[in-house]
Chains A and B, each alone.
Chain A
Amino acid sequence: MKVLIADDEPVSRRLLQSYLQKWGYEVVVAADGSEAWRLFEAGDFPLVISDWMMPGLDGPELIAKIRSSARGNYVYTILLTARAQKEDVVAGMEAGADDFLSKPFDRDELRVRLRAGQRIIDLEQHLRETEAALAEQRKIVESLRQAGASGREDEPQP
């Protein structure tokens, strides 16, 4: 799974990158919010981890932009920040973040939260595929019904 990491702090960025790569994620890093947005537009990232305070676009702004972009698939976002007050958690979630972790974060906690995010993405993907299959089936049924109706019209009247 591709993950976009946006953090202006090099140590934090490097650490996150090494953890996620160790856990089998494909990682792309951005040094600020604007770069993260450019990378997000250019690529396909179902999971985004963003720092709160960054030059250019900050974390909540980046997440708000991601939410407003007309992407087909759902993007799971985690806000990672040094802020730990309840009101910060609320503000972060209000901005559209799915999860919130305060620094210093627990490595194992990050791992399980990522796994939870991955489950949601997989479920959403599965739901979309099922919906697409259902739409396909509906189309087939519709075309069969139309074929049946036109066949009845062609039959000679007694």
Chain B
Amino acid sequence: MLLAVRDLRAFYGETQALHGIDFGLDAGAITVLLGANGAGKTTTLRALCGMIRIAGEVEFEGRSLRGLATEDIVRLGIAHVPEGRGTFTDLMVDENLRLGAITRRDGPDIASDIDRVYDMFPQLYERRLQQAGTLSGGEQQMLAVGRALMLRPKLLLLDEPSFGLAPMLVEELFETLRRINQETGVAILLVEQNVTLALDLAQHAYLLETGRIVVAAPSRKIRDDETVRRSYLGY
């Protein structure tokens, strides 16, 4: 098990946002966290990266992540594309990608990885010397994913990658994510509001409600089981 989470509780100051959740992720697997706004999906991703106060157990490749600083967790191989994408808006597109690899030492491989990102997202290549803040929403999303991949992560955390994107772009993006997973074997933990596409992409799904996991099942089962779908997902 690549990532094992047991009885995870998370706090914003005095307020408790997660009330003891358990889940796990295998290497190379794609998992989605579903749920309404405020259910705790983003909180979970933040908790995994040490960005907020937590209690409980989080283990990555058998190593506890408790007490580690965000930057040290990232260096273990977890790339997080947050809400808002975390783009370095003042810097150029190319510099954003270089930053994704800033902790790596293998210079020539970094250069070829940047080329691969440009192959995957040709629009980024066209704009590579432009200030990242001037890119459109869709392009910034691509940049964010590209930047995350530059880390050569073992686990990729994505917070609502479809947010603010036109439907066609979303389909393209998800297709790209599937390819990336197949080609590099990176595990993906996805937070999504777009349920259909997410259930298509992911193998496993968890449904969060007010800080607790209420459904945990293979995504096929949730898609095909009408009762589960109706009662929890509303369609």
A binds B: no
Q: CB within 8 Å of A: which residues of B? A: none
Q: CB within 8 Å of B: which residues of A? A: none
